[in-house]
């Protein structure tokens, strides 16, 4: 039985196309991936991301515990701020990528939907010896993302505050406010490469909140299809594609999320050694010189025809108007201008390594 968010009936009622994703029955598209993609780049789009995991971490050693399981410097996340981090295995492989929100006397950790059970078990297991309390709030709270350059101005109209607190919210800031009469946590975070917000509030209020946010004006309901194309252009990693248990942060070009000098944490020793030696393979962006569209899992060969890597994500970029891809290749082939072949339907198609990101994020900082 597939799991459903509090908005399942709303999505079906509004005519969204539903698909299975990571054990969840979710909308893949409403008006169409390209239409939704453009709406978020130019105006605003609304996503139901209630399938993601939301775990609370509190207690005297909450910070110390998170420092031990995450690769980022949790001590540097000030109250009311959030930051990107990774959970790594002792061998440096990635358990998941996460967002850590520093709230009053507690932290909220947001994890990928497909990794919810695994991450919960991982956190439980590593909490032994720490004076912390973990609580899974995933079912109790809904989570929406309002993304796009118009998001701030639209959400300000929904906020029941004359001081319009959320317009003052810095990049990655998080605050408790009231939206359409509902108490909600609002964070200036997202997964689209645009300015935007993520909202956390009581699950029961989700259908009304969804409808009222859409009624604010030019807000398009969006599905997971455009969520994927929007995160692909700024080259934001997707678990199971750019990152996984067998891909380490240096290979994934996420070395900036690993703070080796912050003290001990799970995976530190292995990661220090990997950094010292330099990764033997790395992610690179690429464009196709020949015709076709590269897709995730397609093989990458050297120009001599040797299998050397794999496409992690590939699709036609709606904003740039051409097929692009991200591939895991030997480090020597990961520098701009390198040539390799992507095997598209049994046929090698020449590709050229290009800089990432394909689309420069337009965050409000």
Partner 1 sequence: MSISIPGDLRYSTSDEWVRTEGEEVVIGITDYAQDALGDVVYIELPAVGTVLTPGESFGVIESVKASSDLYAPIGGEVVAVNSDLEANQEPINQDPYGAGWLLRIRPSGEEEPLMDATAYAAYCEERAH
Nearest distance, CB of residue 343 and partner 1, angstroms: 13
Give strand pairing partners of 289.
none
Nearest residue to 123 via CA among 100, 102, 139, 103: 100
Please state, in angstroms and as integers, the Cα–Cα distance from residue 10 to each residue in 14, 15, 20, 180, 198, following that order. Answer: 6, 9, 16, 18, 19
Query: Residues 220-249 vs partner 1: string with x where CB under 8 A?
Result: -----x--xx--------------------
Nearest distance, CB of residue 315 and partner 1, angstroms: 6
Decide if residue 310 touches partner 1 (CB under 8 A): no
Nearest residue to 3 via CA among 113, 153, 168, 160: 113
Nearest distance, CB of residue 345 and partner 1, angstroms: 7
Decide if residue 94 touches partner 1 (CB under 8 A): no
Backbone angles phi, psi at 108, to 5 degrees: -115, 130
Residue list 327-346, contact with partner 1 (CB under 8 A)? 345
Binding-residue total with partner 1 (CB under 8 A): 20
Can you tell me the distance from the alpha carbon of 44 to that of 38, in angstroms, rounded to the nearest whole number?
Answer: 9
Binding residue (CB under 8 A) for partner 1 from 22, 149, 207, 316: 316
Can you tell me the distance from the alpha carbon of 298 to that of 313, in angstroms, rounded to the nearest whole number?
Answer: 9
Nearest distance, CB of residue 298 and partner 1, angstroms: 10
Of 41-49, 81-89, 252-260, 313-321: span binding partner 1 (CB under 8 A)? 313-321
Nearest distance, CB of residue 35 and partner 1, angstroms: 8
Decide if residue 315 touches partner 1 (CB under 8 A): yes
Decide if residue 293 touches partner 1 (CB under 8 A): yes
Can you tell me the distance from the alpha carbon of 43 to that of 36, in angstroms, rounded to the nearest whole number?
Answer: 10
* Three-state SS at 270: helix
The answer to whether the beta carbons of residues 2 and 51 sit under 8 Å apart is no
Nearest distance, CB of residue 112 and partner 1, angstroms: 19
**198 annotated as a binding-site residue:** yes
Residue list 31-50, contact with partner 1 (CB under 8 A)? 32-35, 37
The answer to whether the beta carbons of residues 159 and 177 sit under 8 Å apart is yes
The answer to whether the beta carbons of residues 188 and 170 sit under 8 Å apart is yes
Decide if residue 10 touches partner 1 (CB under 8 A): no
Positions at the binding site = 198
Catalog residues that contact partner 1 under the rule CB under 8 A: 15, 28-29, 32-35, 37, 225, 228-229, 291-293, 295, 315-316, 318, 323, 345
Positions at the binding site for substrate = 198
């Amino acid at each position: 039985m597939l799991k459903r968010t509090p908005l399942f009936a709303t999505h079906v009622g509004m005519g969204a196309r539903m698909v299975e994703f990571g054990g969840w029955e979710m909308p893949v598209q409403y008006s169409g991936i390209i239409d939704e993609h453009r709406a978020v780049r130019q105006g605003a789009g609304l996503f139901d991301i209630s399938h993601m995991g939301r775990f609370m971490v509190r207690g005297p050693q909450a910070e110390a515990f998170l420092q031990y399981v995450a690769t980022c410097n949790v001590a540097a996340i000030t109250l009311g701020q959030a930051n990107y981090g990774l959970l790594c295995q002792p061998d440096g492989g990635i358990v998941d990528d996460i967002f850590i929100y520093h709230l009053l006397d507690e932290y909220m950790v947001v994890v990928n939907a497909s990794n919810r059970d695994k991450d919960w078990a991982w956190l439980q297991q590593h909490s032994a010896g720490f004076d912390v309390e973990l609580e899974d709030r995933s079912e109790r709270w809904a989570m929406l993302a309002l993304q796009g350059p118009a998001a701030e101005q639209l959400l300000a109209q929904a906020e029941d505050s004359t001081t319009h607190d959320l317009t003052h919210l810095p990049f990655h800031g998080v605050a408790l406010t009231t939206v359409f009469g509902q108490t909600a946590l609002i964070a200036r975070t997202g997964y689209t490469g645009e300015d935007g917000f993520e909202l956390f509030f009581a699950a029961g209020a989700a259908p009304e909140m969804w409808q009222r946010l859409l009624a604010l004006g030019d807000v398009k309901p969006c599905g997971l299809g455009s969520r994927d194309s929007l995160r692909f252009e700024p080259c934001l990693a997707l678990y199971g594609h750019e990152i996984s248990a067998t891909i380490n942060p240096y290979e994934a070009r996420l070395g900036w999320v690993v703070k080796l000098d912050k003290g001990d944490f799970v995976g530190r020793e292995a990661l220090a050694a990997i950094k010292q030696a330099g990764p033997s393979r790395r992610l690179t962006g690429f464009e196709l010189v020949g015709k076709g569209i590269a897709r995730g899992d397609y093989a990458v060969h050297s120009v001599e025809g040797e299998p050397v890597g794999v496409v992690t994500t590939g699709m036609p970029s709606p904003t740039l108007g051409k097929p692009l891809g991200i591939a895991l290749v030997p480090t020597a082939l990961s520098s701009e201008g390198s040539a390799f072949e992507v095997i598209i339907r049994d046929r090698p198609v020449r590709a050229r390594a290009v800089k990432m990101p394909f689309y420069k994020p337009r965050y409000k900082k």
